[in-house]
Amino acid sequence: MTFAAPNKKTKRNIIRNDDNDEDEKKRRKLVPLQYSEEEQAAVKTTAERLADVAAKISKSAASEPKTDWVKAKKKVEELVVDFIGEAEPSLVNFVLDQLKKSVSTSKLVASLKDVLDEDADDFVKQLQSMISL
């Protein structure tokens, strides 16, 4: 017993559950979109979009407040005098270096424990209130 292979038309009709060939004729053909020169000029390229984003970022970075390290140094000096009783330039420079490195408050407290003992927590809390870390 031999079986005849079904023709393509039969397969298509079975899948589509459709017996009419008219549907194939009714389908619209895709027409490529044609843009005028003005429309094409109005659309930005990827490079232009990236340049716009880069310009916005550089503007926002320039508008961010910058730390005034001279004022920060004066505030840290005052705080050191309050806690120790005298000016200690090496401690002031150490604290400023830690601030410039953006060290977390917990690490700053741990590094100041050797010098300030239990006052290190209070020192860092007051430093935070004086200078936004």
The whole-number pLDDT of residue 90 equals: 92
d(CA 42, CA 26): 36
The whole-number pLDDT of residue 133 equals: 47
Regions of the chain with pLDDT less than 50: 133
pLDDT in tens, 53-89: 888 877 665 555 567 788 888 989 999 898 888 888 9
Nearest to 131, CA basis, from 75, 64, 65, 90: 75
Cβ atoms within 10 Å of 108's Cβ, excluding its own = 21
Q: Which two tokens stand for residue 116?
A: 């300030």
Q: Who's near 42: CB < 8 A, 6+ residues apart?
A: none
